[in-house]
Structure 1
Amino acid sequence: MRFSRSAFAIWCTAVVLAACGGSGERAENEILIAAIFDLTGPTADVGVDYADAVQGHIEWLNGRGGIDGRPIRLIYQDYGYQVPLAEQLYTQFVQEGALVFMGWGTGDTEALRPRIMEDRIPFSSASLSHVLGDAHESPYNFLVATSYSDQFRIVLRWIAQDHRAKEGDGNAQVAFMHNASPFGLSPWVQGGEDYAREIGVDVTPYAMSRGATDYTAEFSRITQSGARYVVFQNTSAPAAVALRNARSLGVDATFVCLNWCANALLWRLAGDDAEGVVGAIPWAPLTDDVPGVRDIRDYLESRGEDYSEKTNAYTQGWWTMGLFVEGIRRVLDAGQELTGENIKNAIESIDGLDTGGASPPLTFTPTDHRGSKGLRLFRAENGMWTAMTEFLTAP
């Protein structure tokens, strides 16, 4: 098999990371956190950066003395996006004493919700399914980035405004190309369909089958429908395939990526075909020089890594870990016992956590675990993501 340089780098990193997980004896004052990552499965194209960021934040923090002098220890394993394995690893790591759990996918996170609640384990994953931020339904789950549904609403509102500015009247026609999974359908079934109808935008979903290398049939139907906007809810690799396909077919549309394909990897895979794509980006790309990414950039440079090659999944993973560090620090500062329930309560007290412009300030309450309601829209220009709006809040 012949690998491109980027694919080979991802593969090498995945092998190294997968080999480093596991358990063993730990020091008495260590704080144990567990994680599952997708390093070899269908979303590994962005999963490797997210995993590296979670581990990187812990290494960076421990190099500064940990939390009140207590180091964090991370136990983790690649689960390849397999829900049964996620459930097995969750059980194993909780039995080993993990106080906090970092998950990944929508299907496995939703499947684990009842057990997370029963075990009282503060939990966050890369999944931004809207229901996971419902504190009544998911009292121990926390969303640290704008939910898929809120992302989709922001994009649909922008499309409606852009369509009116260009066409004047009539409903905007939108093709929603999504991963064929709960992750892909999440923004549509959890509020997106109703909101589109409410604002007069006509949306047609198109499933992107796993591993597809050609979307000619889908784009033929999209062209016949008259859609002038195509929104991707998928990771970078399949979105890049679709973009190359659409450009070669001469599809006349504005392309929009929700967060998992609006990243640096899209450029590497799609090349010039990514030019002009609009990205809904909850966490700043590392090329966006705001205070909230400078520690990350310094850390990566200290390891001899080029931050411009990282996706914004790295920013999201770093700050997701950072939120739980803040919760743990508040428990320790209050002199309380370090338990899952106390960490949960501490996170629910966070009001306007400043992320240095990497995202809107994060706020959690006992009734709302969706910490961020906004994002900026960026445009792909000359190999970079350029901000085209200020932070937009979901309606």
Structure 2
Amino acid sequence: MKGLWIKTLLVSLVPVFLLGFVSLAGAGSIRIGGLTDCTGATSDVGKDYALGLVEAWHYVNDTGGINGKKVKYTWFDYGYRIPEALTKYKLLKRMRVLAIEGWGTGDTEALSPTVLKDKLPYVSASFSAHLTDPAKSAYNLFFAPDYSTQARAALTAWYETRWPKHKDYNKRRPRLACVYAFPSPYASSPIKAIKDQAKMLGFEIGPDQDVSLTAIDTKSQIMALKKFAPDVCWHGNTTMTVSATMRDAYALGLGADWLVNFWGFDENLPKMAGEAAEGAMCAAPAYFFGSNKGIMKTVKEYCKKYNPGVPLKNRLKFTVAAWNNVLLLREAMVRADKAGDLSGPGILHKGFETMRGFAIAGGGLGSSPVTYTATDHRPTGLVPVAELKGGKFQIVTTIDVKGRWPKKWKTEWLGW
């Protein structure tokens, strides 16, 4: 079934890729590049994001482009291989793209010094906090709270809504353990931050457990966790291994709640993990795909129009994340173009860094208003937190990380 889905996806996307590739010389057009993972270790979530990027750029062109200029979007599947990402980046640069829609943390961080040197805006699906300090990564941007801010918010939400209901509340400290792929820059990105937050809140922190991004059997890690008996576990991987871990934890009676990083908590999770996923929590920086709020009707219409071979029931929240990043980049380019400087530096300084509380699509994609300054590229500190209850996603609370810890936000937390 998974193989069939991949085949359907690639058949639907390849014509779009070729169309963009062969028509780059069109007069009055703007070239945008893309790097995605449709076949690699994170393709379980990357395919949906790739679809969303294509559909969102169609929407941009259908609604006026960049002040009347059409966008030519050309993308490559680099299979979550950093060397391949570097090669494809060089190709996109030779094609003179004005900006790139990127994907993973490992490749985005590896490319960051080059992107800075080339002054090429790079809007990624990686929300790594390492990319938010303009002194080091000025041309790296994204729409959502960074992974570290999301992790701090998720743990705080659990501590304030779940822990007071625990039978041991006021009798002992809550216990946290982290489960993630140690070698993965994505999975390990927020670990330092969530442990720092845990110490601030008075948690006892147990030993980390290494679970690869492609693991389907995690029983040995669960048995190790049982010795520590955590009250809550953080899982930093993508949905496939998150669901496998949850199933093993449920079967072996771990008895802990789960907090999950953004790319491991989606509409497939209840399908794959069943009851084992009940009560899991995650930051929700944008609408889930099933929402009918804002412009979600339009998003779904574009899904059906440009990728009819993928049923709406199989689409995920990552489509919505893609639209947020596309419309964010569009706004930056519109502003830069109006200022007469549609270049990399112009898009950054006269586009992104002029945004103050900017609501992407008027807030119609469920994201928090974003702000970028010359010294801080963290988009927002406002983090809605969702839980899975009865197979449905619902917002439990919203944690204002910046507002609640303003001194630490300003002086300590930038870049990690």
TM surpasses 0.5: yes
- Does residue 21 (structure 1) correspond to residue 17 (structure 2)? The answer is yes
Q: 1:257 to 1:65 in 2, by over 3 A?
A: same
Aligned residue number for residue 9 of structure 1: 5
User: Which moved further from structure 2: 51-60 or 278-287?
Assistant: 278-287
Calculate percent identity across the aligned residue pairs.
27
- Among residues 372, 392, 405, which one is paired with 1:364 in the alignment? 372
For 2:376, the aligned partner's letter is D
Aligned residue number for residue 104 of structure 1: 103
Q: TM-score when scaled to structure 1?
A: 0.92
User: Which moved further from structure 2: 48-57 or 290-299?
Assistant: 290-299
Q: Tell me the SS of whatever aligns to 1:291.
A: coil
For 2:146, the aligned partner's letter is S
- Does residue 211 (structure 1) correspond to residue 211 (structure 2)? The answer is no
Alignment of 1:186-335 (within 5 A): 186-189=189-192, 191-203=193-205, 204-302=207-305, 304=308, 306-334=311-339
Q: TM-score when scaled to structure 2?
A: 0.88
Aligned residue number for residue 373 of structure 1: 381
Deviation for aligned residue 1:15: 5.0
User: Which moved further from structure 2: 254-263 or 32-41?
Assistant: 254-263
Deviation for aligned residue 1:19: 6.3
Matched residues in 1 for 2:30 and 2:90: separation? 18
Deviations 1:158-211 (A, max 9, x none): 23333245212432111211123111111013x333332232222332111243
For 2:286, the aligned partner's letter is W
Matched residues in 1 for 2:53 and 2:219: separation? 38
Matched residues in 1 for 2:133 and 2:178: separation? 25
Deviations 1:119-141 (A, max 9, x none): 10011211111010111111111
CA contact (8 A) 1:283 1:375 kept: no
Q: 1:160 to 1:76 in 2, by over 3 A?
A: same
Q: Tell me the SS of whatever aligns to 1:211.
A: coil
Q: 1:382 to 1:196 in 2, by over 3 A?
A: closer
Matched residues in 1 for 2:107 and 2:225: separation? 31
Aligned residue number for residue 53 of structure 1: 52
Deviations 1:243-268 (A, max 9, x none): 11111112211112121111112123
Q: Tell me the SS of whatever aligns to 1:351.
A: coil
Aligned residue number for residue 391 of structure 2: 383
Aligned residue number for residue 142 of structure 1: 141
Q: Tell me the SS of whatever aligns to 2:116.
A: helix
Deviations 1:284-320 (A, max 9, x none): 2122333153431332354556545322111111110
Aligned residue number for residue 86 of structure 1: 85
Matched residues in 2 for 1:108 and 1:39: separation? 15
Matched residues in 1 for 2:143 and 2:335: separation? 17
- Aligned-residue CA RMSD in angstroms? 2.0
CA contact (8 A) 2:259 2:282 kept: yes
Q: 1:393 to 1:289 in 2, by over 3 A?
A: farther
Matched residues in 1 for 2:108 and 2:175: separation? 32
Q: Tell me the SS of whatever aligns to 2:208.
A: strand
- Does residue 182 (structure 1) correspond to residue 185 (structure 2)? The answer is yes
CA contact (8 A) 1:18 1:77 kept: no
Aligned residue number for residue 349 of structure 1: 354
Aligned residues: 389
Q: 1:210 to 1:362 in 2, by over 3 A?
A: closer
Matched residues in 2 for 1:299 and 1:309: separation? 15
User: Which moved further from structure 2: 44-53 or 63-72?
Assistant: 63-72
Aligned residue number for residue 43 of structure 1: 42
Q: 1:266 to 1:160 in 2, by over 3 A?
A: same
Q: Tell me the SS of whatever aligns to 1:136.
A: helix
Matched residues in 2 for 1:113 and 1:289: separation? 36
Matched residues in 2 for 1:284 and 1:41: separation? 26
Matched residues in 2 for 1:288 and 1:160: separation? 27
Deviation for aligned residue 1:374: 2.4
Deviations 1:222-263 (A, max 9, x none): 111020111111111111111111111122111121211111
- Does residue 159 (structure 1) correspond to residue 158 (structure 2)? The answer is yes
For 2:172, the aligned partner's letter is G
CA contact (8 A) 1:113 1:138 kept: yes
Matched residues in 2 for 1:151 and 1:157: separation? 10
